[in-house]
Amino acid sequence: MKSLKHFALIALAFGLLASCTSVRVVSDYDQKTDFNTYKSYAFYKTGIDKAQISDLDKKRILRAIEAELGARGFVKSDNPDVLISIFTKERERVDIYNNNGWGWGGFYSPWAWGPGWGWGYGYGNNVSTRTEGSLYIDVIDANKKELVWQGRGVGTLNNTKNIEKKEKRIKEFVSQILEEYPPNMAMASN
């Protein structure tokens, strides 16, 4: 019985860790578009300027997009086939855990560092908040000026002072979103 509780605790910890690092991705596209005709791109400055994030994070996102598109054979151009734009949203997510009795997160000590996670006995609720962000990447047909593909990644934003971790998280968002592009290739690999 003791080993079962130990296994359940480890499984829960890995589940929480995985849920914090994963990026949930959805995409949508115009089914009448032939994505094979697109070979070059440029960034849509008007759209990017409206993204409500720091200029440094915008640069990180754009560099990550450049790397992903370059790996797919796209070239940056003054006369592009598509324009790439980004849009961001952020929201606070509140999680409430009920602690009536024994279980995970069952104690809290105001004198100890941290939220008091661990096994114990307690009553009441634990409340935690985290910032969840969405990054949208839009692909716009440059000639028609129409949106032809949109990818969205949603995940927890790590408010970290570690620049390398921030850079890695942004690359992860962009990479997982652009795995869905172009839709014909993404569907063929499934």
Q: How do residues 42-51 score in pLDDT, each as one tens digit?
A: 999 998 998 8
Burial class (CB in 10 A: 0-12, 13-18, 19+), 117: middle
Q: How do residues 39-96 score in pLDDT, each as one tens digit?
A: 999 999 998 998 888 899 899 999 999 999 999 999 999 999 999 999 988 766 566 6
**Among 110, 185, 177, CA closest to 138:** 177
pTM equals: 0.69
